[in-house]
Amino acid sequence: MKYLRLVLRSFLRSKRRTVLTILSITVSVALIAILQSILATLNAFANNPDASNRIVVRHKVSITNLLPTRYADWLRQQPEVESVMGLQWFQGVYIDRSNFFPNFASEAEFVNTVFKEEIVEYSDAQFREFLRDRNGALVGKNLADKYGWKLGDVVSLKSELFPITVRLTIRCIFRSKRPADELALHFNYKLLEEGVSYMKGRVGTFFVRVHRADDVPKLIERIDRHFHDAVEPTYSETENAFQLEFLKMMGNYSAIIQMITGAVLVAILIVTANTMAMAIRERTTEISVLRAIGFRTSQILAMLMGEGILLSVLGGAGGLAIAWLLAGAVRGYVGTFLPYLQNFHIDAGTMSLCFHATLAVGTLSTFIPAYRAARRPIVDGLRSL
């Protein structure tokens, strides 16, 4: 703090250069924060602790192949099993394809027991109406608010997978702990069976809820062993592993994001290093005068380092502020096409990463030119006087 005034005077010597450098760091840090938060959100979706005691059972050959619904009877007889539900991805289109949201044909009576961590708050009376009405629909609050749906509204979904259009009546609206889970719609599987002849007695997947997460591995092995020689063999995996497979369809998103982050960090380092090198070269004589009147090398080095770190920290703080302000836009617009990102936010881990990264950039970009300037012989610096 003793030499803060000197640091600030040097910092503001070239206001235009300082402002432009801070802006470049701000934009770069905002990009890094958003990319790392997207990565954290996607990873969290595929590592959901609430899904640790759920198993997804599907056809061994492909997820597009169907399983007999009678498999559920054997699954329910297993001592570890709490609840079993047949579920089929419907891929229904509401008005046009831009209105994308997850919609499923589900065994209605088991939805709230299998997904009790996702379907958290709902009216018992509304849920009974959902079970009573064969054309009833269970929808998340987020989804209902998005389209202005209310109880009793009729919604038409035209499937892109099956030759059927279902007309559903909103009977129950639920709340969840995560915004992405409130984008789902469930309707009675009987509608799909009755509307598509080849779906009679067949389903795409079974979601199996077990009493204890520790029982998951042995139950997975037993299920696949039991159906190994069946005409329709099974492949069982945890729900998190199942979700991860869908995310991998986007490619190696983790490596792509990390590569972009690394490239942006290198760009910040180059920009900041160039700025500090220019600023320090311009003050060669001034630094020599300071040393001549008694300033120690360590003091000069500390002042120059403080200037570079201040430059980076201000840019980093601005970048985090912009990323935080843009978080709502990412949820609102990108989350429309990727429901996973409805949970997007700038978390504490990402903020810490960006803060330490900017500190590192400020330190690395300033140290070499500052050290050279602080160690330069006084006579060499005074020759230009």
On the question of pLDDT at 219 being above 90, the answer is yes
Residue 81 CA to residue 69 CA, distance in Å, equals 17
Half-sphere exposure of residue 313: CA atoms within 13 angstroms, side-chain side: 9
Q: Supply φ then ψ for residue 300, to 5 degrees.
A: -65, -40
Q: Is 371 helix (H, G, I), strand (E, B) or coil?
A: helix
Q: What pLDDT band is residue 324 in, cutting at 50, 70 and 90?
A: confident
Q: Which residue has the higher pLDDT, 30 or 330?
A: 30
**pLDDT for 254-309, tens place per residue?**
788 888 888 888 888 888 888 777 777 767 666 677 667 767 777 777 777 777 78
Residue 280 near residue 373, CB atoms below 8 Å? yes
What's the distance, Cα to Cα, between the start and end of the chain in Å?
Answer: 30
Tell me how far apart the alpha carbons of residues 221 and 4 are, in angstroms, rounded to a whole number: 66
Percent of the chain exceeding pLDDT 90 equals: 38
Mean per-residue pLDDT of the chain = 84
Q: Which of 129, 104, 123, 128 is nearest to 207 (CA)?
A: 104
Per DSSP bridges, beta strands 81-89 and 205-210 are: antiparallel
351-383 confidence digits (pLDDT tens): 888 888 888 888 888 887 777 776 776 666 566
Highest mean pLDDT, choosing among 4-8, 135-139, 370-374 = 135-139
- Check if the beta carbon of residue 344 is closer than 8 Å to that of residue 41: yes
pTM tops 0.95: no
d(CA 206, CA 334): 30
> Could you tell me what percent of the chain has a pLDDT over 70?
85
pLDDT of residue 9: 64
Rounded CA separation 348/166 (Å): 43
Which residue's structure tokens are 């600030």?
8
In the sheet that 92-93 helps form, which strands lie side by side, from edge to edge? 92-93, 154-159, 165-174, 136-140, 185-188, 103-106, 81-89, 205-210, 54-59, 234-238
What are the backbone dihedrals phi and psi of residue 46, each rounded to the nearest 5 degrees, phi first?
-90, 5
Rounded to whole angstroms, the Cα distance separating 241 from 47 reads 8
- Residues 342 and 33 sit within 8 Å (Cβ to Cβ): no
Confidence of residue 342 (pLDDT cuts 50, 70, 90): low
Q: Give the C-alpha separation, 107 to 90, whole Å.
A: 13
